[in-house]
Structure 1
Amino acid sequence: MLLAASAGPAGATGPDTSAPNTFAPDTFAQVTAPTTPGAAAPRWATSWATSVQGPYPTGNPSAQPDQRFAFPEPAEGARDQTLRLVLRPTVWGPQARLRFSNAFGTRPLALDGVHAGLQLGGASLVPGSNRLVRFGGREGVTIPPGGQAWSDPVDLPFAANPAAPLLAGRKLAVSFHVVGASGPMTWHAKALQTSYATAPGAGARGAEEGEQSFPFSTASWFFLDAVDMMAPAGTPVIVGFGDSITDGTASTMNGDDRWPDVLWRRLLAHAGRPVAVVNAGIGGNQMAGPANYGPSSPFPGGPSALMRLERDVISLSGVTAVIWLEGINDFSRNGNATLEAVRSGMQQGVKRLREGIPGVRVIGATVTSALGSSSAAHGHAEQDEKRRALNDFIRDSGTFDGVADFDAAVLDEASGGLRAEMVPESTTGGPGDKLHPNRAGYLAMANSIDLRMLLGR
C-alpha cells in the first residue's frame, strides 16, 4: 500500500527496525560512538543533496550513456522499473532519511521497494548492508505533481560509528521501484556519477544486492534530491550554490573532484569533526532567468537561482554557510541580462537566505573568466566586462559575509582567460571550452577558500 505525500515535506516517524537484512556493525567499527553527558542531542544534517530540474530529458548532462533502453519514451518516464542511484554522503550517521521530489512531474509518482545500502562497486552492494526504507510506516509513497516526501528514519548499522575513518568517501546506493509509469521525470542532469537502472517492466528489484538486474547506466540522478544523516549537534552544513562550474562540468566522471568535493576533503582534514558540503549547482543555471519555468516550459539550465532558493538551500537541514557562484550564464548570449538585474538578484537572494536561515554565513564567489570560449554563447568582450563589474560588486559591496576569490585562483592575467593548464576537459580528454575549469582548476578554486569564513576562527 502506498502512502500519499503532501506537496510539502512529509513528517518523519520512528526508525525502521524491521528490515530483514542484518549487518554486523563491527565490520567498520567496534563500538558506537559514546554520547557525552549533557551534550546536545544529535540532529538531522543534510549530508548529500542535488538540485532538481526537468522534466527529463531537458538539461545539460555530461558523459551520458545512451538512455533509449532504460527510458524509451521520455513522456512516459520510468515504467515499472527500479533505479539504483549512487551518491556520496559527506557526513555519515547511524540513521538516515531520504527526500524524493516530483517537482516537475505531471502525474502522481508512486514509489515502493525503497532501499538504502553501501555500494560495493558498480550496481552491487556490500552484502547485508541493504535496508528497507518506509514512509509513515508503510513500504511505499505517492507524491503528487509538484510535491516532495521525506522518508522515515532508517537505521544504517554499517554506520553505527560514523566517525570510523573507513566510512569517509564511501558511497550510498539508494534503490527504488517506480510503480507503473512515472510520466515526465524530475531529475538532475549532470550527476557526473554513474547510477543504474533495470529494464522497463522489470518490477521491484531494490532488495537485491547484486547487479544482475541492473544492466543500464545513467550519469544523472532521478527523483531523489536530499539525504539527511543524524549527526552531532552543531555539525556545519555548507552549500555550494550555482551553475555548471559548481555542478562540475569538465571535472572527472566518478572522480568527485568538483570544487565542493575538494573543499569537503579540505574541511575534513582541517576541522577534526564532521562537516557536510552539498552541491546545489545546475549546469546552465542563471540568476535572473528564465522568467517562467515548469513542466510545460522547461529550460536546460533549470529554474532561476531565486526560484529554487527555498527548495535547494533554505529547506535543507542544518545549513550554516552558502558559497554562491553565479552570473556567467546571465551575461551569455542565452541570458543577455543586465548587470543591475544580476546584482539586484544577488541582494534579494542573500536577504532571503538570512531571513530563512538565521545565522547563516553567505560567501560570494567571484565569477571565473570565459574569455575566448569556444562556446557560441560565451567568451565575448561584453560578457567579460559585465563579469568583472559583478566581481567588483561581490568583493566590495558588503553584501556578503566573505569572498571566495575563484577568479583570482584561475585567471591568466596575460590572456584574461583561464590558465592554460586548467582548460583541457578531464572526463572526455577533449580540448576544453575555456569556460569550465577542469580538475586542476577546481582544485585551485577550492584551495583558495579561507576555511575560517566557514568554520570560524
Structure 2
Amino acid sequence: MTGTDNGGWVRSWGASPQTAQGGLGSLDGYPPLDGVTLRQVVRVSGGGRRVRVRFTNEFGSAPFTIGAARVGLAVPGGGVRPGTERVLTFSGAPGVTVPAGAPILSDPVDLSLPALAKLSISLYLPGRVETCTCHDPALETGWTIPGDAVAAPALPETAEVLPVRALISAVELLPDGPARAIVVVGDSRTDGAGSTPDANRSWPELLAERLAGRGAAARYVSNQGISGNRLLNDGIGVSALARFDRDVLATPGLGHVVLSVGANDIGVSFAPRDDGPLADFLKMFPGAPMTTDDVIAGHRQLVARARDCGVPVHATTIAPYEGAEIYTPEGESARQALNAWIRTGGAFDAVLDFDAVWRDPARPSRIRDDFHCGDHLHGNDAGYQALADSIDLSLFG
C-alpha cells in the first residue's frame, strides 16, 4: 500500500526544478541573488498540522547558504499573518549550506494549515547564488528584498518582483488523517500557461479545489508541469523520462500518477521548418524528430516505472493546437494517432479525455475559442476549469 495511511508525510505543493538557462529565460538580465531575502507564496492543495519545506540546489554549480528561513500564512501583498510565523531550522541550526546538485529539507514545524491555504516562505541568502535552480515561470508573485527580511511582517518598499520560483521545490505536510498525493507530470498546459497569474487557475490546482471540497479521504495534488517540456528529449527542462524518478516516484505519500505529456514531442517534431522567428524558437528543442511510436514507447516506460512503485497511472489525451505557429497537418495526424492509442491501448488505469473537452465540434483540430488564451495552444481560466471539471474524482479513491 502506498500513501500515508500510517500517518506519514504527503507532498501538498510542488514545482519541478529547472536550470535558469533551461527555462523560458525569465531570469535573463535579473541581478544575481546575493545578500537578499526571497519571499514566495505557494498554495498548498491539502491541509495538515506540521510543515516542512524542500529547498533545491539540484541544478546549482556551487553550494549556496541559507542564513535564515521562515514560513507563515500569507496575506495579500506579500505579508504574513501575525501569530503564524514559524522559524525553519536545519538539523536544529538556523541556517544551512545546500550542496551543489542537492535538495535539502527543513526540520518540521508545527503549523496548522487548512486545505488550499496560502503559505509564505522566506529565505535569506547572505552570499551569492552562482546558479539559481528555479521553476520558470512562477505564476504566483514572489519578491526579493535587500538584506535579512525573513521576519518582516509586511513587504518592505524595497521589494522587487522575482520572476521565477527560486530555490524551493516542495511543501510537505503531516496530515490529520489518511492522505495521498496525486502527481501530474506535464508541459505548459499542466503548468498553467495562459491562466490568470496569482489566481491558482491551472487545471491541477482547480482539481485540488474539487478534491478539497469532496469530504472523503484526503487527496493532495502536486503539479509537476514544466512549460515547454517534452517526454523524450531535454530542452525547456529535462525530459519527463529523465526527471520522472525525482519529480514523481520520490514524492512522499504518492498515490496516483497522471501523465499529460507528449504534445511538445509531436508539435516540435512536425513543426514547419523555415528561417523565420519559429526557427529560433525551435533551437530550444534539440534532438532528432520523434515519431508517434517513439512517444508511445516513452509512455510505456513511465507506466512500467510507476507500476513498479504500486501506483495507478492515468493519462490525458493531447488537446488540439491548430492555429498555433507550430501546427502542421502532419502533426495533427500524429496527435490523432497518439490519442487513439491513449484511449484504446489499455496501458493506463484511466484516460482523462482532454481532447474531447477542448476541441471545437465544428473543427476538431482546434481548441474552442472560449477555452484558449488567444494563442490556440494554451488554455484560459475557463478552459482549465473545464478540464478540471471533466475529471471523475472517484478515480482517486
Decide: shared fold, TM above 0.5.
yes
Give the structure 2 partner of residue 53 of structure 1.
18
SS at match of 1:420: coil
Give the structure 2 partner of residue 29 of structure 1.
none
Describe how 1:249-288 pairs up with structure 2 within 5 A: 249-288=193-232
Give the structure 1 partner of residue 290 of structure 2.
337
Give the structure 1 partner of residue 246 of structure 2.
311
Q: 1:410 aligns with which of 358, 373, 377?
A: 358
Deviations 1:373-404 (A, max 9, x none): 1x3xx211111111111111111111111100
Give the structure 1 partner of residue 276 of structure 2.
none
In the aligned structure 2, how far is the partner of 1:47 from the partner of 1:214? 31
Describe how 1:37-436 pairs up with structure 2 within 5 A: 41-54=6-19, 56-60=20-24, 68=29, 71-72=30-31, 77-156=32-111, 159=112, 162=113, 167-198=114-145, 202-212=146-156, 215-290=159-234, 299=235, 301-331=236-266, 332=268, 333=271, 334=282, 336-355=289-308, 357-358=309-310, 360-373=311-324, 375=325, 378-415=326-363, 416-423=365-372, 425=373, 432-436=374-378
Report the AA paired with residue 356 of structure 2.
Answer: A
SS at match of 2:264: coil
Aligned length: 375
What's the Cα RMSD here? 1.8
- CA change 1:118–1:110 in 2 (3 A) is same
Q: Offset at 1:57?
A: 4.9
Report the AA paired with residue 216 of structure 1.
Answer: E
Report the AA paired with residue 378 of structure 2.
Answer: H
Q: Offset at 1:273?
A: 4.4
Q: Offset at 1:92?
A: 2.1
Report the AA paired with residue 81 of structure 2.
Answer: V
Identity among equivalent positions (%) equals 35
- Whether the 8 Å CA contact 2:46–2:116 is kept in 1: the answer is no
Q: Offset at 1:270?
A: 2.2
Deviations 1:321-360 (A, max 9, x none): 11111111101234631112111111111111122x32x1
Q: Which segments of 5 or more consecutive residues in structure 1 lack a partner in the other structure?
A: 1-38, 291-298, 426-431
Give the alignment's TM-score, normalised by structure 2: 0.90
Give the structure 2 partner of residue 19 of structure 1.
none
Deviations 1:259-318 (A, max 9, x none): 11111111122244432111000000001102xxxxxxxx3x200001111111111110
Q: Which segments of 5 or more consecutive residues in structure 2 lack a partner in the other structure?
A: 272-281
Give the structure 1 partner of residue 278 of structure 2.
none
In the aligned structure 1, how far is the partner of 2:239 from the partner of 2:318? 17
In the aligned structure 1, how far is the partner of 2:213 from the partner of 2:76? 26
Report the AA paired with residue 453 of structure 1.
Answer: L
In the aligned structure 2, how far is the partner of 1:40 from the partner of 1:103? 30
In the aligned structure 2, how far is the partner of 1:226 from the partner of 1:169? 15
In the aligned structure 2, how far is the partner of 1:169 from the partner of 1:364? 25
In the aligned structure 2, how far is the partner of 1:259 from the partner of 1:41? 29
Q: Offset at 1:41?
A: 4.9
In the aligned structure 2, how far is the partner of 1:311 from the partner of 1:433? 32
SS at match of 1:95: strand
Report the AA paired with residue 322 of structure 2.
Answer: L
Q: 2:389 aligns with which of 421, 427, 447?
A: 447
Runs of 4 or more consecutive aligned structure 1 residues displaced over 4 Å after TM superposition: none
Deviations 1:97-148 (A, max 9, x none): 1111111110112112110011111121111221110111111111211111
Give the alignment's TM-score, normalised by structure 1: 0.79
Report the AA paired with residue 323 of structure 2.
Answer: G
In the aligned structure 2, how far is the partner of 1:96 from the partner of 1:168? 13
